[in-house]
Structure 1
């Protein structure tokens, strides 16, 4: 039920027909994001994401929004470190009409001058919203401190956004919003040929090729504190981790689910249930083609910050010494369940279609992912724990009234 077509200009289209589902979802992902922006253009990918929705010379944003609504469809977009994704969902019987409108918008947007400065002001307000949220602001600081300019704030900074010109945004789109840098995935009760026909109509005549992408060199700040007047201290400990294409990533996922993945994890049991120091403590993996991270987060009373940090480091030390077979079994069961349940959800299914194409050049059946997971041994997991949890690659970031010693 999964089919793939590559147009002569390099555009890749993957579909999964699902006759048993009434909804449909499509993702159009360009291989460009904030992590690949040059310093002088910080925030340009996110600005461009916003400007696409401003319309084309023949279809303004109001007309587009009204037509999409009449079809019962909705659209959204997001900018990451290495990708920009446009999403549309709706009933299977109208998704092709919605995709036709959306593809026309993406292929033909024109960045109207009268809207450009206005939208930059909107993004400045978006930045203030993040800045007023200590946990969101702390997360941005943590990634930036751990990875350097590759992980600068996705929306840029007030200064960088203010300095962007309309010409720079248009040049950036010409350089990277190209068919050979685009992967489209659609899941729904829709014929593959019909999807290809719609996309070829809007993108097939475009022969532009993407410029070479440059990954900024990674750097690291070991410790950073941002003083804020707030009730809780936001605590982040970050580590470099395997990139997303590492073949032993399932072993890392298995280990880190034990350490910080759920309410039965070691971090939660120790800091929340045994000591009552926090309401929330968790660890999470994020991965890209060039690097990965493991980020531990906790929110605590400022007076308990040193103790919380000490307890997390103690748990890391203890974790490096042993993982039990029962913990390994539980972790695999949780990850297997997550894979199985995600296979029933349209959004997850289309994301996997696109992810697998970008990373591996082919779709990987869920059974293959589960087999890789089941093959993880205790020794595999411990090896990844020792590789990642190393003092030389740890970054500590705190946001709040706490004063570091």
Structure 2
């Protein structure tokens, strides 16, 4: 009797350790900013960052699925599904979901990207249990009814139309296609009119079942939260839905891959009757795990990241050729993009493009001055800290870090990595990246002669 009891106790303790496999990832200072992770059975990870000085909390669930996980016929399914999870569960109608959060003055939303999807709610700290229950219910108990699929189709088609009416937004989708072609990363997150019209309830439901497994989810909460309490509430919500039954499941790790972008000299023009021509000139960048991303961030800030940047000064301040001009980077698991955007009058697009090319070529050949690099490092440090001043940003940081990197980096460590970038690091990255032959995407009212010149501009 005693022996059997001891054995049962040992097994229970072992199972309890598996259930409560909790780690302190970042210790914080005096308990402030402490980041912890617990892995529950079923492979569900829960990460929190504690900030006792605030009265709010943001709770989110990150899904390891984005538009790059879609086949051509399923293009837009991830974003479609994001909409449908708000349409009702076994316990709540669509109105119940929105009314529950509205009633406590909170905000709830979601977003879909090429490699992940996130659902979140920001509430007062006292209302965090409600936010956890509602968001977990959406993720585990969605009904995905046929009538909701049909009704939401019109909403998504309107969203696609709205995006196409904004050429300053649409040109970035065009640039992704220019660089990545007809591949999952090159296709639009929203899908197209044809693919959205072709999607039906059964295909979306299968997509949901495949990709919303607990092993592919990360729960993140930040603000005035207690880690053990959040874990307990999340576990209760998922167990209620029967979603943690696989005790031997292992969490899905960060994406792996070796995609290389070899786009050079590609040009895509979309003729639209717009008041401005919208231009993106760019080339392959670095994957988000590449150690050179820190130097690239400094280079990006100096080139087109602020009002003192090269491109802003040359294109807008000195010549007045554009209102909006900037550079940006996009990093994926296995590749990246670097682009320069400008919006200008159609008859000035060649002048703007010529100046941008000249500056990129000059920086590739000569590098940036030490003063420009020091200013860019300071700008990047400041924007990093200021961008983490609310609980929503903190939740995004820890959730995305767990999903995409499988580890957490403290703000101090991030600032140290930025501060460690040397002028030689930036010049080396500039010489490698900016010397590549660029590709070009343009939306605007272009005449035939202009189109010919734009093709020659990247030759």
TM-score by length of 1: 0.95
Superposed, 1:358-373 pairs within 5 Å as: 358-373=403-418
Q: Deviations over 1:239-278 (max 9, x none)?
A: 2111111112111101111111001000010011111111
SS of the equivalent of 2:280 reads strand
Per the TM alignment, residue 397 of structure 1 is displaced from its structure 2 partner at its CA by 0.7
SS of the equivalent of 1:56 reads coil
Superposed, 1:262-341 pairs within 5 Å as: 262-320=306-364, 321-341=366-386
> What's 1:122 paired with?
155
1:399 to 443, 448, 458: 443
> What's 1:181 paired with?
216
> What's 2:401 paired with?
356
CA separation in 2, counterparts of 1:178 and 1:388? 38
Contact preservation (8 Å) 2:60, 2:135? no
Per the TM alignment, residue 219 of structure 1 is displaced from its structure 2 partner at its CA by 7.0
CA separation in 2, counterparts of 1:276 and 1:74? 40
Contact preservation (8 Å) 2:67, 2:189? yes
CA separation in 2, counterparts of 1:52 and 1:286? 27
Aligned residues: 404
Contact preservation (8 Å) 1:229, 1:401? yes
- Residue 181 and residue 342 in structure 1: after superposition, are their counterparts in 2 closer, same or farther (change >3 A)? same
CA separation in 2, counterparts of 1:6 and 1:375? 34
Unaligned runs of 5+ in 2: 1-33, 453-459
Q: Deviations over 1:123-157 (max 9, x none)?
A: 11111111111112212111121122212110100
CA separation in 1, counterparts of 2:61 and 2:322? 40
Contact preservation (8 Å) 2:295, 2:418? yes
2:278 to 226, 234, 238: 234
CA separation in 1, counterparts of 2:287 and 2:77? 25
Contact preservation (8 Å) 1:88, 1:98? yes
> What's 2:6 paired with?
none
Superposed, 1:161-240 pairs within 5 Å as: 161-204=196-239, 205-206=242-243, 207=245, 220=263, 222-240=266-284
Per the TM alignment, residue 90 of structure 1 is displaced from its structure 2 partner at its CA by 0.8
CA separation in 2, counterparts of 1:15 and 1:250? 26
Per the TM alignment, residue 374 of structure 1 is displaced from its structure 2 partner at its CA by 1.0
> What's 2:390 paired with?
345
Contact preservation (8 Å) 1:176, 1:211? no
CA separation in 2, counterparts of 1:156 and 1:165? 14
Higher Rg of the two aligned structures: 2
Q: Deviations over 1:7-54 (max 9, x none)?
A: 121111111121100111122110100122111100000000000001
> What's 1:384 paired with?
429
Per the TM alignment, residue 77 of structure 1 is displaced from its structure 2 partner at its CA by 0.4
Contact preservation (8 Å) 1:71, 1:98? no
Contact preservation (8 Å) 1:48, 1:169? yes
> What's 2:67 paired with?
34
The CA RMSD measured in Å over matched residues stands at: 1.9
SS of the equivalent of 1:59 reads coil
Q: Deviations over 1:368-397 (max 9, x none)?
A: 1111111111111111112222344x2201
- Residue 279 and residue 346 in structure 1: after superposition, are their counterparts in 2 closer, same or farther (change >3 A)? same
CA separation in 2, counterparts of 1:10 and 1:257? 39
Q: Deviations over 1:180-237 (max 9, x none)?
A: 1111111121211111112112324424779998979667481011111111111111
Contact preservation (8 Å) 1:143, 1:238? no
> What's 2:134 paired with?
101
- Residue 342 and residue 134 in structure 1: after superposition, are their counterparts in 2 closer, same or farther (change >3 A)? closer
Contact preservation (8 Å) 2:160, 2:193? yes
Contact preservation (8 Å) 2:367, 2:430? no
- Residue 219 and residue 380 in structure 1: after superposition, are their counterparts in 2 closer, same or farther (change >3 A)? closer
Per the TM alignment, residue 57 of structure 1 is displaced from its structure 2 partner at its CA by 2.4
Superposed, 1:132-171 pairs within 5 Å as: 132-148=165-181, 149=183, 150-171=185-206
- Compare 374-383 and 76-85 and name the one that shifted more: 374-383
Point out 4+ residue stretches in structure 1 off by more than 6 angstroms: 208-217
CA separation in 1, counterparts of 2:158 and 2:124? 33
TM-score by length of 2: 0.84
Unaligned runs of 5+ in 1: none
Contact preservation (8 Å) 2:361, 2:435? no
